């Protein structure tokens, strides 16, 4: 209720009392009796409202009294303030019980640990999944409940962006996924899921692709051998076979590249969660990739800008394959023009940049580029010997090095691929 609204209502009440006073004056013929009646009327109206207000204050669980409009406005505001206060009181004194009840009713296993990873609380589902009793384990460290280096290292790093998959115990099929989130001063809420089935299916898919690719290698090598030796055995009359044989050779080479990429991708996936801590001299690596590619593409300009000298903790072979896939793409998808490769420092960490002035990519394709076998232009990709797996490999290598891949491109103007590594992967200080 506004201030002026209140004043208007009070003014009406005074007018009413004055009217009663004037009526008494006329009836009794005495102005003093009229004034006393008006005053009495005003005081009793206020007294009556005040007494109802005090009664409600004494018993706040009741609805506020419905006074006239002036008091009703004040009462409604007081009532709202009061109910908010009551609601807070309900949560504050026993907020721990409230929290335990709400998270305890979750079907997903949840626990709360402090900054020293000591168990503060867990729900029934977590007790069941981890086969523990909260009463016995409260205060115990998570690393004692679930021994294994991966979990300890993950918690020490305090980077909870990606969930952790972890195999506790000796059963290789049993796999748990932990998702940590910080809350309060320094506590962590941990959700735990049994992902054994999902993990098994992913492993089966990886093994299947790996095995098929591996099995295809031997027959392909034999076929390629015959295709290569046949021309030397052919007579002049068989010259018309030369074109089909050349085409067979091209296709066999494509299949070989495809199998090599599939096997490599399966291998990278298998070791994705493993430690990658070789000390990689990125400047030397970039120089050697550039030298290899300059000899394969002698008429192209590959410009190196090695501004940072920082070395990375990672897997040299994986980094080599990611870099060469990016540079080969830059060469393949630009007919002429230079390809620039940069290694720079940024505020977040070192950055690898591969830029070209080639065909470019329409914005709608960019989000899907790292999907396996996604091609912007299938015929162009096949023409230049693409397998459709190059950027999938780059993405996997980036993820397993905690790096992020960014793509910027303008159709017809060129593309820029940036891989931003976290400073935590650097062996050298800033």
Q: How far is the CB of 383 from ligand ADP (least distance, A)?
A: 10
Residue choice 390, 398, 402, 405 for contact with ligand ADP (CB under 6 A): 390
Q: Which is nearer to ligand ADP, 111 or 394 (CB)?
A: 394
Residue choice 36, 375, 404, 408 for contact with ligand ADP (CB under 6 A): 375
Closest CA to 417 of 326, 287, 325, 288: 326
Q: How far is the CB of 408 from ligand ADP (least distance, A)?
A: 11
Cα separation, 251 vs 278, in Å, equals 37
Residues 103, 110: contact at Cβ < 8 Å? yes
Phi/psi at 110 (nearest 5 deg)?
-135, 145
Cα separation, 142 vs 31, in Å, equals 88
Residue choice 145, 381, 396, 418 for contact with ligand ADP (CB under 6 A): 381
Residue choice 356, 396, 403, 419 for contact with ligand ADP (CB under 6 A): 356
Q: How far is the CB of 368 from ligand ADP (least distance, A)?
A: 9
Torsion of CA 143, 145, 150, 156, to 10 degrees: -30
Cα separation, 307 vs 23, in Å, equals 98
What is the separation of C-alpha 427 from the centre of its chain, rounded to a whole number of angstroms? 26
Residue choice 269, 388, 408, 423 for contact with ligand ADP (CB under 6 A): 388
Cα separation, 28 vs 110, in Å, equals 82
Residue choice 42, 262, 376, 419 for contact with ligand ADP (CB under 6 A): 376
**224 CB neighbour count, 10 Å cutoff:** 16
Number of residues that bind ligand ADP (CB under 6 A): 22
For 200-225, the DSSP string reads HHHHHHHHHHHHHHHHHHHHHHHHHH
Residues 6+ apart with CB under 8 A from 331: 293, 297, 300, 302, 339, 356
Q: What sign has the CA pseudo-torsion 330, 334, 339, 345?
A: negative
Contact segment (CB under 6 A) with ligand ADP among 125-133, 185-193, 232-240, 356-364 equals: 356-364
Q: How far is the CB of 351 from ligand ADP (least distance, A)?
A: 17
What is the separation of C-alpha 408 from the centre of its chain, rounded to a whole number of angstroms? 21
Q: Which is nearer to ligand ADP, 139 or 367 (CB)?
A: 367
Residue choice 42, 276, 415, 425 for contact with ligand ADP (CB under 6 A): 415
Contact segment (CB under 6 A) with ligand ADP among 20-28, 198-206, 229-237, 379-387 equals: 379-387
Q: Which is nearer to ligand ADP, 60 or 367 (CB)?
A: 367
What x/- string results for residues 277 through 316 when contact with ligand ADP is judged by CB under 6 A?
----------------------------------------
Is 349 a binding residue for ligand ADP by CB under 6 A? The answer is no
Q: How far is the CB of 186 from ligand ADP (least distance, A)?
A: 43
Pairing of strands 414-420, 339-345: unpaired
Q: Judge residue 427's burial from the number of C-beta atoms within 10 Å of its C-beta, 0-12 exposed, 13-18 middle, 19 or more buried.
A: middle
Which of the residues 312 through 341 are near ligand ADP (CB under 6 A)? 325, 329-330, 333
Report the interface residues with ligand ADP, using CB under 6 A: 325, 329-330, 333, 356, 358-359, 361, 369, 374-377, 381, 386-392, 415
């Amino acid at each position: 209720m506004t201030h002026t609204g209140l004043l208007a209502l009070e003014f009406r009440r005074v007018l009413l009392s004055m009217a009663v006073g004037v009526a008494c004056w006329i009836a009794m013929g005495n102005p003093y009796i009229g004034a006393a009646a008006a005053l009495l009327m005003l005081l009793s109206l206020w007294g009556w409202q005040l007494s109802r207000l005090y009664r409600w204050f004494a018993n706040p669980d009741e609805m506020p009294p419905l006074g006239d409009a002036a008091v009703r406005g004040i009462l409604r505001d007081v009532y709202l303030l009061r109910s908010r206060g009551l609601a807070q009181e309900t949560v504050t004194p026993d907020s721990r019980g409230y929290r335990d009840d709400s998270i305890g009713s979750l079907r997903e296993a949840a626990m709360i640990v402090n900054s020293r990873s000591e168990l503060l609380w867990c729900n029934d589902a977590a007790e069941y999944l981890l086969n523990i009793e909260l009463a016995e384990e409260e205060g115990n460290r998570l690393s004692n409940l679930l021994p294994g280096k991966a979990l300890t290292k993950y918690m020490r790093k305090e980077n909870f962006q990606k969930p952790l998959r972890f195999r506790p115990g000796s059963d290789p099929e049993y796999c748990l996924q932990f998702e940590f989130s910080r809350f309060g001063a320094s506590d962590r809420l941990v959700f735990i899921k049994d992902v054994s089935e999902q993990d098994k299916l992913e492993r089966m898919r990886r093994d299947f692709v790996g095995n098929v690719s591996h099995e295809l290698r031997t027959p392909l090598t034999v076929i390629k051998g015959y295709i290569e030796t046949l021309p030397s055995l052919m007579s002049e009359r068989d010259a018309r076979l030369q074109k089909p044989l050349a085409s067979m050779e091209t296709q066999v080479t494509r299949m070989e590249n495809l199998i090599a990429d599939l096997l490599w991708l399966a291998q990278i996936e298998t070791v994705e969660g493993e430690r990658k801590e070789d000390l990689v001299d990125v400047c030397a690596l970039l120089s050697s990739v550039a030298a290899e590619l300059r000899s394969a593409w002698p008429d192209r300009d590959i410009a190196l800008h090695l501004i940072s000298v920082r070395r990375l903790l990672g897997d040299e072979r994986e980094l080599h394959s990611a870099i060469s896939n990016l540079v080969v793409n830059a060469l393949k998808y630009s007919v002429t023009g230079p390809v620039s490769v940069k290694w720079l420092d940024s505020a977040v960490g070192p950055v690898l940049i591969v830029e070209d002035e080639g065909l470019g990519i329409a914005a709608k394709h960019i989000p899907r580029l790292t999907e396996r076998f996604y091609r912007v232009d299938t015929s162009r990709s096949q023409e230049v010997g693409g397998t459709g797996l190059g950027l999938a490999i780059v993405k996997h290598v980036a993820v397993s090095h905690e790096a992020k891949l960014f793509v910027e491109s303008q159709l017809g103007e060129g593309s820029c691929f940036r891989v931003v590594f976290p400073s935590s992967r650097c062996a050298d200080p800033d």
